[in-house]
Amino acid sequence: MAAKLVKSGIDQMTKVLAIAGAFVALGCGGGMPESEKGKEWIHQGYAQGTTYTIKYIAPDSVPQAKIDAALEEVDIEMNAWRAESALSRFNEFSRTDTVFELDDEAGVWSLLWDISSDVHRESYGAFDVAIAPLMKLWGFRMEHRDVVTSDMVDSVRAFARFRTDVVDLNEILDDSGLTERVHLSKGDLRAQLDFNAVAQGFTVDGLSEVLLDYGVTDMMIELGGEVKCMGLNKHGHAWRIAIDRPQENGRTLQAVLPLKDMSVCTSGSYRKASVVNGKRHSHTLDPRTGKPVTHGLLSATIVTPSAAYADAYATVCMVLGPDRGAVWVDSLQRAGKDIEAFFIVDQEGGDHSFWATESLREDLEWLEPLSEYVLELSE
């Protein structure tokens, strides 16, 4: 799909299909006049193995080349499906006696490493970018696997942990104190990294910086289902982001969320699964056990200012499940984090229920009713 730029004439519904969640940017009706801030511009295309849509209000368009450069900047570093990417080359690096050296003037590696370390610490290991060998073991990275034993899991977990004795990064600073290069090292030559749960959100944050550099303050950016909204849409209202109801085939919208100056990301377990040991397993692995999760959380939607953190936090909640995930989100709120969450939970008989933080519950506009999920946690 080639990238393209258009001016919108009438208000349209822009479909956004995500890998682990789906959003739709909804307008407020057709035929409205252009904003005093300018026209609505739309960039759409294919990048990082998925689609993207960027809408913004401005007198003039942002050069497509700048958007392409921002997308490529992360992709050439972090795309595990791209043989020449820095991540792929590091994962194939098979020495423990020397470092793997990379240019990092854009700060992609150092920033993503810091975010990943932060969420790993906050989640007590439920978020782990060293999980790649376990994903491969369970056949979740294109490999087919019929049987996985506990012994196999334990043997791989020894080198699939985000610890400095397994894999580490050191920044090499220039004279002004900015990161110029990074040195990556392996304590075990089998160690590999996977930034899939944070890189696209990080890219969305980067795209917003590109638009801000051109004076754009009203924007909606979506990449692979990771969304960031700033300012207002062309009608002077908050952007409206729709959240899918979890289902394997087709799509039904569950709710609409008005969004301003926030990011929203959904992670889900309902579209991807593999059959291992004769059982159907979700593609969500718990790094702490090395095994697929077995709880009933179908999707976790996180709202927070940073798309990168929203992306990672949604993954954490999918690992923790509905009960522990809700408690964890509450702990972040009590610690002063600007975060809201919305969970859709599978119930017996195929019914779904929901849990949402108090503020988000008030903002959601329901398109299809759900029963409420009641937490039953022992203290």
Check residues 5 and 362 and name the one with the higher pLDDT: 362
| pTM given for the model | 0.88
Q: How confident is the model at residue 226 (pLDDT cuts 50, 70, 90)?
A: very high
What whole-number distance in Å separates Cα of residue 363 and Cα of residue 108? 34
Each residue's pLDDT tens digit, 52-103: 999 999 999 999 999 999 999 999 999 999 999 999 999 999 999 999 999 9
Average pLDDT over residues 184-206: 97
Max mean pLDDT range (24-33, 39-48, 274-283): 39-48
CB 318 within 8 A of CB 343: no
Q: For the chain, give the mean pLDDT.
A: 86
Joined tokens for residue 130:
């060293």
What pLDDT, on the 0 to 100 scale, is given for residue 352?
86
Each residue's pLDDT tens digit, 262-294: 999 999 865 555 555 556 656 789 999 999 998
User: Could you count the other beta carbons within 10 Å of the beta carbon of residue 209?
Assistant: 9
What whole-number distance in Å separates Cα of residue 266 and Cα of residue 225? 7
Max mean pLDDT range (15-19, 92-96, 368-372): 92-96
In the chain, DSSP finds a helix count (H) and a strand count (E) of 8, 22
What pLDDT, on the 0 to 100 scale, is given for residue 374?
82
Each residue's pLDDT tens digit, 247-266: 666 667 889 999 999 999 99
Beta strands at 273-276 and 279-282: parallel, antiparallel or unpaired = antiparallel
What pLDDT, on the 0 to 100 scale, is given for residue 250?
63
Each residue's pLDDT tens digit, 113-127: 999 999 999 999 999
CB 266 within 8 A of CB 300: yes
Q: 79-186: what fold?
A: T-fold (1.10.3980)
3-state SS, 242-268, equals EEEECCCCCCEEEEEEEECCEEEEEEE
Average pLDDT over residues 178-192: 93
What pLDDT, on the 0 to 100 scale, is given for residue 17?
30
